[in-house]
Structure 1
Amino acid sequence: MQITVEGREVFAATGGRPFDPALPCVLLVHGAGMDHSVWALQSRYLAHRGRAVLAVDLPGHGRSDGEALTAISDLADWLIALLDALGVGQAALAGHSMGALACLSAAARHPQRLRALALLGVAPKMPVHPDLLALAAADDHKALELIDDWAHGPRAHLGGHPAAGTWLLGGGERLLERARPGVLHRDLAACDTYADGPADATRVRCPTRLILGADDKMTPAKAGRKLADMIEGAAVATIPSCGHMMMTEQPDATLDALKRTV
């Protein structure tokens, strides 16, 4: 589905069903250097069960035009602009990693626009090592390799996907390779400089669930639980044998947790 947002063409997958703004809307937001495809299973399930799904490509990512935004607060406001472009008053927002920070910020900045919030692979602060930032700034392939390695848990390094023949690490690396030059660095820098997580968490007013990987090395589950403690009434689902990329590592368990919220 093509949408015009702030004068730019934006792509959002709708889970195989036409987008109907009269249905409860679910906006799915990907992480750094990625695109809508990380939500393939979850978006299709929700779209065929009474939800209007938007698995969006953020600006400069995937099939969307424009430049990647450089601040989490700008991403948050852009998500609301996307809803405005479609005439959607309220939506459930679900974000992964950088996308989770954007959704958290949106919930704090625009509380009246969210009916529910799901945060996947998230922590109150998500600093990025200077060496990784430097590699990403140079568009060095080593940055992709490091992220792909750290993002997947031990089970994924040995196989472990329920779909036979699916190579989780290879697929993750190919996805990062599709990002345009400079996009990964902009995304990582946005995560690194976002310092408002604790303050934004106290401003969330909608039902919220954090979905965490027990083996996540990028945003450890204990850090995610600290964020949950800052959000009034937040629930936590921790997925065993799962790293940072829960949507692909443990797609069914991720969906089970997600559908209880959105």
Structure 2
Amino acid sequence: MIKKCEACKDGVEFPFELRTAFQPIVDVESARPYSYEALVRGSTGQTAGEILSCVTEETRYAFDQACRVNAIRDAVKAGLLETDAKLSVNFLPSAVYSPMACLRLTLQTAVETGMPTSRLIFEFTENQRLDTVHVREILRAYRSLGFTTAIDDFGNGHAGLGLLADLATDALKLDMHLIRNIDTCSRRPTIVKSVIELCRELDVLLVAEGIETEAEFETLKNLGIRYMQGHLFAAPEIGVLPTIDLRMTERLAAA
């Protein structure tokens, strides 16, 4: 667990400007966005991977805070509050040294922009093994304030069954590795079907991410997945809330 954050105390800022792209998570039953995920981008076109490679121990806190604030402000500016959709924001558990202290700026931004806490989903994932005691404290604090919480990239790296057993989140997102070519692989549908049953038993909302083909979509729909995300529906766009591809909207409406 992080005991203190020098960046917070000393006011360290992230060294370059960040922008926010949005991609819808689609409720395939209603053919409407359930939420929009906020994805970090650089002001000169840097990808999320390029930006994350620049995050250091000294700038981790400032980066995490900037992403949260930008996501909320940019979503409101893009018209999120004029829809029924939620906003999904990624966060780094290792950047949170004290759940309530690190939420002050997030809550202040939400109040200033009129964003209800009930409209915010916080997704977490880490490349390294998580301190589950610390993350459990974070989730408890977030839930007490009305936030929804989610495990991102489930099925990849350290985001596996052990994490699901230790941390009671409201939702989880299946990693795109499990989704890719699910229509032609005999093993992936069986694995995903098992996760669907687990989520049903645990009352956890399940999202499939990284969907690129209609065959993947059809397979997942037939397995019973209601919430989906991927380029098949809409590519991320900076500063605006993308509309779902018209072809997919018509197909969902006819289903």
Task: Give the structure-1-normalised TM-score.
Answer: 0.36
Task: Give the structure-2-normalised TM-score.
Answer: 0.37
